Amino acid sequence: MIKVGDTIPNTKFVRATAEGPQQVEAKDFFAGKTVALFSVPGAFTPTCSARHLPGFVEKADALKAKGVDEIACTAVNDAFVMGAWGKSANADSIAMLADGNGDFADAVGLTMDGSGFGMGKRGQRFAMVVKDGVVEKLFVEEPGDFKVSSADYMLEQL
């Protein structure tokens, strides 16, 4: 599992844009800025939609006031789903990064098996602060929990 002080692995994310899906290399996305990244098991799922994403939308200005340059959400979903979820949640302040094949979740060692719910391999619920590509803070939830990966918890730690 990735840990504080590690460099973010250079996998690719995909973002939905007006021109269609656009690949984003992790090394480019995280370079030269401080990013608050959070991972959810799936777009449009109950806790993710009711609490996780909305918390970061609501606290975006407060996080930026604490030195965060960009806020990003990732999930093992495709770019179209991530884009639609971001729109439905009015998450214009959040970069919605699709990890459709789970390459990022695999590379950071934070996958979970959602097969029992028909979801297959997914990313765990976690959050991290990444400064210029290096993990500065890491908050990994216990299975079924939603505490340390929240926007409120991250704000307390900054």
Q: What share of the chain is helix, strand, coil (3-state, %, to 5)?
A: 30, 30, 40
Instruction: Say how many C-beta atoms besides its own lie within 10 A of residue 32's C-beta.
Output: 9
**Residue 127 CA neighbour count, 13 Å, CB half:** 24
Instruction: Say how many C-beta atoms besides its own lie within 10 A of residue 116's C-beta.
Output: 6
State the SS3 of 54-111: HHHHHCHHHHHHCCCCEEEEEECCCHHHHHHHHHHCCCCCEEEEECCCCHHHHHCCCE
Which among 14, 36, 48, 154 is annotated as catalytic? 48
Cα–Cα distance measured from residue 152 to residue 77, given in angstroms and rounded to the nearest whole number:
25
Instruction: Say how many C-beta atoms besides its own lie within 10 A of residue 142's C-beta.
Output: 10
Assess whether 48 carries a catalytic annotation. yes
Chain position carrying tokens 């997914």: 122
Residues taking part in catalysis: 48
